[in-house]
Amino acid sequence: MTSNGTSSNNKDGVLMQVEHLKKYFPIEKGFFKRTVGHVRAVDDVSFQVYRGETLGLVGETGCGKTTLGLTVLRSYQPTDGSVEFNFRDQGMVDITELNRKELKPYRREAQMIFQDPYTSLNARMTVRDIISEPLIINKLCAADEIDDRVAHMMQVVGLDNRYMRRYPHAFSGGQRQRISIARALIVNPSFLVADEPTSALDVSIQAQILNLMVDLQEEFGLTYLFISHNLSVVKHMCHRIGIMYLGRLVELGTRDAVFENPQHPYTQALMAAIPKPDPDQPSGLESAPGEIGNPANPPSGCAFHPRCSHCMDVCREVRPEFIKVGDDHYVACHLYDEVEAQT
């Protein structure tokens, strides 16, 4: 078992190994911008991403899932911890140690699909220029090949390539998200962070984009880190799911394990809060009363303890570590300390 409590028997299939990752943002005050504290957006998180899978990251707004996605992409420099990426030609490399120049190969391997296709595309660039920009920046294509590469990629994502010289405003939300996906895929990446990729779209369009992502994953062998607060979407898309609370992972397991046998009280509350077709059925929100804590001053011990109906004395003092509770299923909760003691 690795330090993150996840299985190591799939080491060859590991695309990314995240160990004790932290991302703190300083809180500055006064004229001299003195640092008076830190927002612990990601606070000691460890997990693996297997090649070809979709790993979902779920949690309430403010739990740190977007910061985690941006940190593993090295859009943010981590405060501490490591992110090892399994390059096709070099094997595992800790990308937190790389300088700007050394990061270039990683910038091709790891791309992002943003949440809002209305703001993420430059309105002054044509679709051709938007999609081809990563090719040009990385010097991956001769100038006379660009049109063909863009036309092909537009076709792959289901766009009519006759419109490559139009501007983003001429396209619908769903088409704009397809443009974003084409831009991400044009450099032939192996890993994509998708941050709520359909939350800004009409419900009728969301399924089309999600199904496109599934098809592209099969066609190109892609690996996704899929960030969402929508459990129905996560259930549709993900092979494994990590539940985040206040910058920490509290449960990690296969889709079936997490949905059918949630172990952490917070996961159980999230599952119970999924809207039910019967309006007389109670919502599960009351099982986790209160609001998510302050990441600048998280509760001691288990960060969920002020909201947990099972809270014990130990929960207020000792931060729970990941405990294996089933096949590829881990939970950070003192309720399961005995399970670990028996193994």
User: Which stretch, 39-47, 129-137, 160-168, 302-310, contacts ligand SF4 (CB under 6 A)?
Assistant: 302-310
Give the C-alpha distances (Å, rounded to integers) separating 68 from 183, 189, 267.
22, 19, 19
Binding to ligand SF4 by CB under 6 A, coded x per residue (else -) over 149-178, reads ------------------------------
Rg of the chain, C-alpha, whole Å = 21
- Output 112 or 323, the one with its CB closest to ligand SF4: 323
Of the CA atoms within 13 Å of residue 31, those in its CB half-sphere come to 0
Is 200 a residue that touches ligand SF4 (CB under 6 A)?
Answer: no
CA separation (Å) from 257 to 145, 204, 328, 339? 47, 29, 9, 17
* DSSP secondary structure letters along 220-259: HT-EEEEEES-HHHHHHH-SEEEEEETTEEEEEEEHHHHH
Tokens representing 254 are 């296969």
Residue 308 in the binding site for ligand SF4 (CB under 6 A): yes
Nearer to ligand SF4, 179 or 308 (CB): 308
**47, 85, 106, 304: which one binds ligand SF4 (CB under 6 A):** 304
- CA 281 to chain CA centroid, Å, is 31
Q: Could you tell me which stretch among 173-181, 196-204, 278-286, 305-313 binds ligand SF4 (CB under 6 A)?
A: 305-313
Angle between helices 203-220 and 173-185 (to 10 degrees): 20
Q: Which of 42, 225, 315, 323 is in the footprint of ligand SF4 by CB under 6 A?
A: 315
Collapsing DSSP to helix, strand or coil, 126 comes out as: coil
The amino acid sitting at 264 is: H
Could you tell me the two tokens for 91?
Answer: 């094997």
Residue with structure tokens 């296969």? Answer: 254
Nearer CB in complex with ligand SF4: 121/315? 315
Is position 339 an interface residue for ligand SF4 (rule: CB under 6 A)? no
Q: Is 300 in the site for ligand SF4 (CB under 6 A)?
A: no
Count residues contacting ligand SF4 (CB under 6 A)? 14
Position among 305, 324, 325, 330 found at the interface with ligand SF4 (CB under 6 A): 305
By CB under 6 A, residue 310 contacts ligand SF4? yes
Q: Taking CB under 6 A as the rule, does residue 262 contact ligand SF4?
A: no
Examine residue 248 and tell whether it contacts ligand SF4 (CB under 6 A): no
Alpha helix positions (H), the chain: 65-72, 104-109, 127-137, 146-156, 173-185, 203-220, 231-237, 255-260, 265-272, 313-317, 337-342
| Residue 320 touching ligand SF4 (CB under 6 A) | yes
Sheet holding 91-94, edge to edge: 34-50, 14-29, 80-87, 91-94
Q: How far is the CB of 106 from ligand SF4 (least distance, A)?
A: 35
To ligand SF4, the closest distance from the beta carbon of 173 in angstroms equals 38
Question: Half-sphere exposure of 44 toward its Cβ, with a 13 Å CA cutoff?
Answer: 10
245 interacts with ligand SF4 by CB under 6 A: no
* Closest distance of CB 8 from ligand SF4, Å: 25
Site for ligand SF4 in 23-52 (CB under 6 A): none
Return residues touching ligand SF4 (CB under 6 A).
264-265, 302, 304-305, 308, 310-312, 315, 320, 333-335
